[in-house]
Structure 1
Amino acid sequence: MFRCTRKRLKVTLFVFNAICAIMGVILMWFGAWLHSNIGEIDVDNSETLVATVIALLGAVLLVMAIFGCAATYMESKSMLISYAVILVILLVIQIFLVSISYTAASGSLSSGLQRGFDELWDRRNTNKNTTLSFYEEWLQCCGKSSANDYFLMDKVPPPSCCRYQDCTNVLNLYVDGCEKKFGEYLTEKTSSFNTISWCLIITELIGSVFACILLDSIRDYRDRIRFYN
């Protein structure tokens, strides 16, 4: 009975480690994808850091999944204890990151973006700003708040504000401002990160519980062997 229960627990842990490994790979891909889409300049000076943290977290999860499989296969009590403790630490770190993500999305993200695009717009007024043009072409937007930013200054929107860079047709003009479009872009990525993180938190919590149960089962099994021998 103990041996059968132990085998079931081992299979369960192998499955959870496989899920953690897959999610780790997904996080590494997501971090790399986020980094590749940042652009020439990070407006709010944080997206590069976030992409790096996500990729590193995915790498750590992948390594931990491999370590967990090894600990489960070898039925090593010390390795299982280390595995469970590190899973709990990762769980706490991810809850902290998710809380930061929600906080940023609710307030500080908006204020940071506003300051960043205020600076870009001020530089646009003093000289030809290729950075703002980059965002206008990439996000299909115009100006800081809207295309009216140019009209209010008695300026003609640049070619980057128009589809195919053709402003001779008024229908080609992008109406939305870059601050709004970039905020939507970051919110979408933040939502994806939060979804993946919550799935990982639940998986790691269950994995740590099963690691403790397996550890207790191994201890009882070995105690029974010593008792009968």
Structure 2
Amino acid sequence: MDCGTSTAKYVLFAFNTVVVIIGLLGIVFGALILNSIGVVEVNGQVGFPVQAILPILLITLGSVVVFIAFLGCCGAIRESVCMTMCYAVFLLVLLIIQLAIVVLLWANKEKFNAAMGEVIDKAWDERRREPAVFEAIQQSLKCCGKSGITDYVLSVEAPPASCCEHNDCLNPLNIYGGCRSKFQEFMSFSTDTAKYVGLGLIVVELIGFIFACCLANNVRNYKRRNAY
């Protein structure tokens, strides 16, 4: 095996070891966010609120990254053209998907924020038919009504205890703000963070893709020369 191939082999192995660590950190980070959001119990049913979708996606992405990087490590050490090329293809597909998501989030930030507001609007409009959904949102976000406690007043409804800190609505200072703005702020911050993390991963994955193609090509050529 020539020096260039050996270098590509060990660089790719070291690179994927780092990627595995990054993927595991992503899983841990997502789990910590999920734990901070916590579960809510409404009418005896326990589950994650709607904003838990982002940390769940982060955990899923981290798991996929760890699997692909592990495949790359095995391909590099075994000098397997098949495994290395499979790794490169998986990495390329993941890179394209992430790039598409980042571009969409960047180009449609206002539309995304409006869509997140509509999620709260819809949950508020359907609260009489599905009260557990909006109650879960209020508990997890520590908010009250669509725009504030005035929504309950205008609807001639008594605000639930979840509208207030320590379930004490007698003190006006304990009343939370509206869920629409809080949910939009939470999702906007989360998506901004996801965009920059995604860009960093894309650069890292592109480097891995290049090294994987170089290694697979060098190993293939080396085996062809030895076959004669």
- Normalising by structure 2, we get a TM-score of 0.76
State how far apart, in whole Å, the 2-side matches of 1:161 and 1:11 are. Answer: 57
Gaps of 5+ in 1: none
Deviations 1:1-32 (A, max 9, x none): x7333332222111221122123324444555
Q: Report the CA distance between 1:70 and its aligned residue.
A: 1.3
Deviations 1:40-90 (A, max 9, x none): 47659xx64x66654443323212211111111122223322322222122
* 2:183 partner amino acid: F
1:91 equivalent in structure 2: 95
Residues 1:70 and 2:71 aligned together: no
User: Which of 71, 82, 85 is the matching residue for 2:86?
Assistant: 82
State how far apart, in whole Å, the 1-side matches of 2:170 and 2:97 are. Answer: 53
Q: Is the 8 A contact 2:117 2:181 kept in 1?
A: no
Q: Is the 8 A contact 1:23 1:200 kept in 2?
A: no
Taking a change above 3 Å as real, the CA distance of residues 15 and 153 of structure 1, as seen in their structure-2 partners, is same
2:191 equivalent in structure 1: 190
For residues 8-23 of structure 1, what are the structure 2 equivalents within 5 Å? 8-23=7-22
Deviations 1:196-217 (A, max 9, x none): 3222211110011112222344
Gaps of 5+ in 2: 41-46
Q: Report the CA distance between 1:169 and its aligned residue.
A: 1.6
Q: Is the 8 A contact 1:31 1:51 kept in 2?
A: yes
The structure that has the greater radius of gyration is: 1
1:57 equivalent in structure 2: 61
State how far apart, in whole Å, the 2-side matches of 1:81 and 1:127 are. Answer: 52
Q: Is the 8 A contact 1:84 1:208 kept in 2?
A: yes
Provide the secondary structure at the position in 2 that maps to 1:143: coil
State how far apart, in whole Å, the 2-side matches of 1:170 and 1:184 are. Answer: 23
Identity %: 33
Q: Is the 8 A contact 1:41 1:131 kept in 2?
A: no
Provide the secondary structure at the position in 2 that maps to 1:144: coil
Paired residues in the alignment total 220
* 1:16 partner amino acid: F
Taking a change above 3 Å as real, the CA distance of residues 213 and 141 of structure 1, as seen in their structure-2 partners, is same
